[in-house]
Structure 1
């Protein structure tokens, strides 16, 4: 369907809501598009980067990666700080630090969090600097750091939807990886006869998971007309997604289980669940419980079946590195931001599906679990195929209400289409509550 890219006007409208949060003057230095902050010749500066990435064994840690940068850039030193709490707690800390004028220059933020952080006056507009590096990242990932035409940082990792499947079980049933949802629907009938499921419907993941499927079907949920936001969570793509899942639920041909609940893992381990539409980042741990079992090495990854828009997938999770309001050296911060997020082998060792162009080397663990498949090459293809016109809007976090409706669907008290109605109504209310005009 035709979509309208969010204009700079919408971003200006969003900024107008800052006064509602008392954050209109939350920085000690407003450097606009990142054109200021250059150091004088011979001077050294220090930039701080706060993140939530792991420091586990066999990983290249953020500190280790950054040490190389510091050795190569004596005039732009970077100090890294790991935040050990939840993502929501880190956001609260950043808000407090921005108000106090002592926030780091750079911070890891989720794509769906970035628009509201910008509306609240916590992020810089670094569009001019970001455009220098845009070609280093996939279009869909780069769009994740946009708020309207404003860019607030650079992407780091992504979660394009892909299809996981047990190749041995598929072969035994005479099936191939489904190329589209019509094939997946037909194959689900064959699998059900054998007591197998090719998919799982997971209410606890409905928000991002179903939104990503709408994106894969070609929808854009948030755009603008003039000065108003337009919300379209019940478009043709969403209708396609709803009909697909409603059929599988009505015929009991999909596993009904929360993604992070025990029944999902039990079905995976006992071999009744042999297919799964999931985020690319699940590749790092989805099959851990099958290690040492006869199913080890049987699974593969394929591109998401076509939901009607061709070779396109949607974003389910991921994060970028944003420049916080008051950063004194935005140009230098973005230079490091680009460098760090293009260290694809190092970031891949963290278990991330990197947003930068290029294909890192697949780990020994993934090769073992996925039968020597070049998993990261497959995920790189999915990253390149993400819908480039599926930005989030301020207040997206409130769409968690979709999960409640999805639970009602499983209980038989609602229809799948009702989940998208919940998304539509909740998104409109969220934008309105933020003081942003929404088109009728």
Structure 2
């Protein structure tokens, strides 16, 4: 593979996106103010995916007879986003919807998400700045954060100890650890560079200071091939060239087998990763642990996002006030947070994160008693200003195609 593969890919992505500016109607507040208290009960339609949503809706309905919520799962994040745009154009979108942070800008530009700044101003302090800003653009709030996925380093502590590897705190130390792993066990890799992991690479670049999208008024600009992104690409290119990381997709049968055999020793990923790892490597319970993500500069603590979602009120809703109350309850109430924790989500709110401190560690890591304390510290260090553009789906597709070609075929 050529040394310029990942670097050239970053430049090619900008051309593939062909985005200089993009603007649109951000929505201005939904269709009405009926909260169910004056004219009888109202029913809200709520689109959301995942096992957490039904228990949330059931708990809300049990406590709020005047505002009933009807939940529908129309598919994961990308499926929901696509259907929200279509249904909004047809005038029959739900009142409330769960959207991923990276797709929220597209919902704003498409006129799907309402401005709920006034309705949520009293809960803004319940969230760390970096997380609240995932749903706020140019001073306007379009959603209430529900869960968060700051990046962490999940590592096979048993294998690290066996090979004499210290947990790296910087990416320079991570590269040195990768060398030490390969020297101690030529069949092992410290981690995987997966060409399809758009969110993972974006988080690394954000941590290095990259700002892939920025907004000024109604105009969005993109700089995926900036200096910081190129430096990140160069870093991983070097490790790939020296066969110190495994360059292949994640969670395939082959990858799962290598993980279970102790040949893949870590996974830098969102805070949700422990649950995913447990699902494919339950037999390694007690072997793995979680630590803060290595830093590009020693002594810093910046953390990028890799996952998470917010709850929006749509511009189609005729019950915007009631919808905003429901969205705020999901993201900021203790009851909502307790349900999220029980279902394996990491709450976005500070009170919710505080509740995790009373919870047991994830099933994969029962021995790590400080797991949730470490998680809370990591979440508090999320970068305050991270913007996603209105065409993340295009960027993600272009990224996956270009990175796969660079890694597997040695061309940009």
Scaled to the shorter chain, the TM-score interval is 0.7 to 0.9
User: Would the alpha carbon gap of residues 324 and 254 (structure 1) be closer, same or farther in structure 2, given more than 3 Å must change?
Assistant: same
Which residue is equivalent to 2:309?
Answer: 319
For residues 183 and 366 of structure 2, what CA distance do their matches in structure 1 show?
Answer: 26
Structure-to-structure mapping, 1:159-170, within 5 angstroms: 159-170=149-160
Alignment partner of 1:248 out of 239, 256, 260: 239
Which residue is equivalent to 2:326?
Answer: 336
Once the 2 structures are TM-superposed, how far is the Cα of residue 120 of structure 1 from its aligned partner?
1.4
> Are the equivalent residues in 2 in contact too, given 1:65–1:346 (CA < 8 A)?
yes
Residues 110-129 of structure 1 deviation map (CA, whole Å, 9 limit, x = unaligned): 11221112211222122222
Alignment partner of 1:197 out of 189, 193, 196: 189
**Farther off after superposition, 150-159 or 390-399:** 150-159
Which residue is equivalent to 2:405?
Answer: 408
Which residue is equivalent to 1:433?
Answer: none
For residues 98 and 184 of structure 2, what CA distance do their matches in structure 1 show?
Answer: 45
Q: How many equivalent residue pairs?
A: 382
Using the size of structure 2 for normalisation, the TM-score is: 0.83
For residues 220 and 88 of structure 2, what CA distance do their matches in structure 1 show?
Answer: 27
Residues 124-156 of structure 1 deviation map (CA, whole Å, 9 limit, x = unaligned): 122222332212223222222234433211111
Using the size of structure 1 for normalisation, the TM-score is: 0.78
For residues 186 and 236 of structure 1, what CA distance do their matches in structure 2 show?
Answer: 23
Once the 2 structures are TM-superposed, how far is the Cα of residue 364 of structure 1 from its aligned partner?
5.6
> Are the equivalent residues in 2 in contact too, given 1:35–1:331 (CA < 8 A)?
no
Alignment partner of 1:95 out of 64, 85, 102: 85
Which consecutive unaligned segments of at least 5 residues does structure 2 have?
1-20
> Are the equivalent residues in 1 in contact too, given 2:247–2:407 (CA < 8 A)?
yes
Alignment partner of 2:295 out of 278, 302, 306: 306
- Greater relative contact order: 1 or 2 (C-alpha under 8 angstroms, separation 6 or more)? 2
Structure-to-structure mapping, 1:200-215, within 5 angstroms: 200-205=192-197, 207-215=198-206
Which residue is equivalent to 1:427?
Answer: none
Once the 2 structures are TM-superposed, how far is the Cα of residue 39 of structure 1 from its aligned partner?
4.5
Alignment partner of 2:285 out of 296, 305, 315: 296
Alignment partner of 1:14 out of 23, 33, 41: 23
For residues 405 and 125 of structure 1, what CA distance do their matches in structure 2 show?
Answer: 36
Aligned: 1:259 with 2:250:
yes
User: Would the alpha carbon gap of residues 82 and 363 (structure 1) be closer, same or farther in structure 2, given more than 3 Å must change?
Assistant: farther
User: Would the alpha carbon gap of residues 318 and 226 (structure 1) be closer, same or farther in structure 2, given more than 3 Å must change?
Assistant: closer
Residues 230-268 of structure 1 deviation map (CA, whole Å, 9 limit, x = unaligned): 322233431331222111111100011201322321221
**Farther off after superposition, 351-360 or 399-408:** 351-360
For residues 42 and 331 of structure 1, what CA distance do their matches in structure 2 show?
Answer: 13
RMSD: 2.7
Which consecutive unaligned segments of at least 5 residues does structure 1 have?
1-11, 19-29, 56-60, 419-440
